[in-house]
Structure 1
Amino acid sequence: MKYARIIDGVVDSISYDLPYFEGGPEPGWTKVPADVFAGFSFDGEKFTGPEPTPPPRQTVLKSLVQARIIEAGKMASAYAALTQNPVYFARWFAPDRPEVYCDDPDAILLVTALGLDPDAILAPIV
Structure 2
Amino acid sequence: MPGIALAAPVQLHSTFGVISAQTTKTASYSTSSEINLTPLQRQELQAVRQRRNREIEAVLNTSQRAQLNHHLRAGNNINQALEKLHLQPEQQDFVKAIVQFTNLKMKAISSRHSLTVDRK
Higher relative contact order (CA 8 A, sep 6+): 2
- Indicate the structure (1 or 2) with the bigger Cα radius of gyration: 1
TM-score (norm 1): 0.28
TM-score (norm 2): 0.29
More strand by share: 1
More helix by share: 2
